[in-house]
């Protein structure tokens, strides 16, 4: 049986705090698009805005009000650990910063929670569409409260896939362009939205059939992977082995096309 609590903390209480935090951060982002925000460059194509920082601070404040002893791993602030805790919150306050900075409405807030290193809660909020994706281990996945599930597409010819590229695309040969080129010739459609957490939720909701990336961070995956699995989807590394959100690689799908995706990812680039 899937646990619904740990000690005296029911998981649905954690879900409700995560939902509140995600919605409040979403309001911070929405407000920033009206009032303006400043942009800094972490590296040449890697941006951060003051809205990222303000949304992150709001999430941390909301969590600490109820769960002051829980560990928190947040993209901009790093790891905060008062003492060892069984719970770890993993936060991307703004997934899709480049889109946000350009006014392209594809970004979200992502909050995942682990208990004893296992993902138990996922909350992803898209403030531009007011879409809230939620999941609790063993309880299914929802979009704005209604159950969601993955697609039943069973062939790459009929599949709409999505991928993304890390900020080191110019510096490494492991930049996903080879996989992108091969998939482009095998699928019905291939997209790059610029927000990995939403990509995972869209696979969960059957809008995409599969998603892969080669260099993700834990905060890109923590929430979306719980949501995807609770919607009936599958997530592994590029070799098909069990996924660790701390090991960068991800293949996510409706389960049916997973093997076909792994086969494409395994193909060597054919020299011409
Ligand atoms: C990025 C987005 C993008 C993905 C990158 C991520 P950020 O996160 O999720 O879709 O391709 O790998 O780093 O920087 O916008 O939070
Ligand atoms: Ca991110
Ligand atoms: Ca981010």
pLDDT digits (tens, 9 = 90+) for 97-127: 999 999 999 999 999 999 999 999 999 999 9
Question: Of 147, 178, 203, which residue is a domain's last?
Answer: 147
Task: Please give the DSSP secondary-structure letter assigned to residue 48.
Answer: E
The predicted structure's pLDDT at residue 233: 98
The predicted structure's pLDDT at residue 1: 55
**CATH of residue 56:** 3.30.540.10
DSSP secondary structure of 104-126: -S--EEEEEEEETTEEEEEEEEE
Q: Does residue 97's CB lie within 6 angstroms of at least one atom of ligand 1?
A: yes
Measured in Å, residue 252 CA sits from the centre of ligand 3 at: 20
Is residue 89 located within the same domain as residue 15? yes
Task: Give the integer Cα–Cα distance in Å for 66 and 20.
Answer: 11
Q: Does residue 93's CB lie within 6 angstroms of at least one atom of ligand 1?
A: no
Is residue 139 located within the same domain as residue 9? yes
Domain residue limits at 62 = 3-147
Is residue 131 located within the same domain as residue 189? no
Task: Give the integer Cα–Cα distance in Å for 5 and 3.
Answer: 6
pLDDT digits (tens, 9 = 90+) for 215-235: 999 999 999 999 999 999 999
What's phi and psi for 158, nearest 5 deg?
Answer: -105, 5
DSSP secondary structure of 205-260: TTSSSEEEESS--HHHHHHHHHHHHHTT-EEE-TTSSBP-TTSS-EEEE-STTHHH
Write out the two tokens for 266: 């395994």
State yes or no: pLDDT of 11 exceeds 50: yes
**CATH of residue 189:** 3.40.190.80
Q: Whose CA is nearest to atom 12 of ligand 1?
A: 166
State yes or no: pLDDT of 75 exceeds 60: yes
The predicted structure's pLDDT at residue 272: 43
Question: What residues contact residue 5 under an 8 Å CB cut-off, 6+ apart?
Answer: 11
Is residue 251 located within the same domain as residue 116? no
Q: Residues of the chain with pLDDT > 70: what percent?
A: 97
Is residue 134 located within the same domain as residue 239? no
Is residue 136 located within the same domain as residue 218? no
Total domains in the fold of the chain: 2
pLDDT digits (tens, 9 = 90+) for 14-27: 999 999 999 999 99
Question: Of 147, 174, 195, which residue is a domain's last?
Answer: 147
Is residue 133 located within the same domain as residue 221? no
Task: Give the integer Cα–Cα distance in Å for 40 and 26.
Answer: 20
What residues pack around ion ligand 3 (CB closer than 5 A)?
75, 92, 94
Is residue 30 located within the same domain as residue 65? yes
Task: Give the integer Cα–Cα distance in Å for 101 and 47.
Answer: 8
| pLDDT, averaged across the chain | 95
Write out the two tokens for 5: 């609590």
Is residue 127 located within the same domain as residue 195? no
Is residue 141 located within the same domain as residue 264? no
User: In terms of DSSP bridges, do strands 9-10 and 131-136 run parallel, antiparallel, or are they unpaired?
Assistant: unpaired
Q: Which of 195, 199, 214, 223 to probe ligand 1 with, by most ligand atoms within 8 A of CB?
A: 195
**Where are the strands (E) in the chain, listed by range?**
5-6, 9-10, 39-43, 46-49, 71-74, 78-80, 87-95, 108-115, 118-126, 131-136, 141-143, 146-147, 160-163, 189-191, 210-213, 234-236, 250-253
Question: CB of 143 within 8 A of CB of 133?
Answer: yes
State yes or no: pLDDT of 145 exceeds 80: yes
Whose tokens are 């008062």? That residue is: 82
Measured in Å, residue 94 CA sits from the centre of ligand 2 at: 7
Is residue 140 located within the same domain as residue 212? no
Question: Of 123, 147, 171, which residue is a domain's last?
Answer: 147
Q: Does residue 165's CB lie within 6 angstroms of at least one atom of ligand 1?
A: yes
The predicted structure's pLDDT at residue 42: 87
Is residue 59 located within the same domain as residue 168? no
């Amino acid at each position: 049986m899937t646990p619904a609590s740990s000690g005296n903390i029911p998981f649905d209480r954690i879900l409700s705090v995560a939902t509140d935090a995600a919605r409040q951060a979403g309001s911070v982002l929405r407000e920033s698009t009206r009032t303006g925000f400043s942009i800094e460059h972490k590296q040449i194509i890697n941006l951060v805005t003051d809205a990222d920082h303000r949304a992150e601070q709001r999430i941390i404040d909301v969590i600490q009000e109820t769960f002051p002893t829980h560990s928190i791993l947040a993209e901009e602030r790093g790891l905060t650990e008062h003492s060892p805790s069984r719970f770890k919150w993993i936060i991307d306050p703004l997934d899709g910063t480049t889109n946000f900075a350009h006014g392209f409405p594809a970004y979200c807030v992502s909050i995942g929670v682990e208990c004893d290193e296992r993902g138990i809660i996922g909350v992803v909020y898209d403030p531009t569409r007011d879409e809230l994706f939620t999941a609790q281990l063993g309880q299914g996945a929802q979009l704005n409260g209604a159950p969601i599930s993955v697609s039943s597409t069973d062939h790459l010819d009929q599949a709409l896939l999505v991928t993304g590229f890390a900020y080191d695309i110019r510096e490494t040969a492991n930049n996903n362009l080879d996989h992108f080129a091969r998939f482009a010739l095998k699928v019905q459609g291939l997209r790059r939205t610029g927000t990995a957490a939403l990509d995972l939720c869209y696979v969960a909701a059957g809008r995409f059939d599969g998603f892969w990336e080669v260099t993700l961070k834990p905060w890109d995956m923590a929430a979306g992977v719980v949501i995807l699995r609770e919607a009936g989807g599958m997530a592994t590394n590029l070799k098909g082995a069990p996924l660790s959100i701390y090991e960068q690689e991800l293949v996510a799908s409706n389960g049916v096309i997973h093997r076909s995706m792994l086969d494409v990812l395994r193909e060597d680039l054919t020299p011409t």
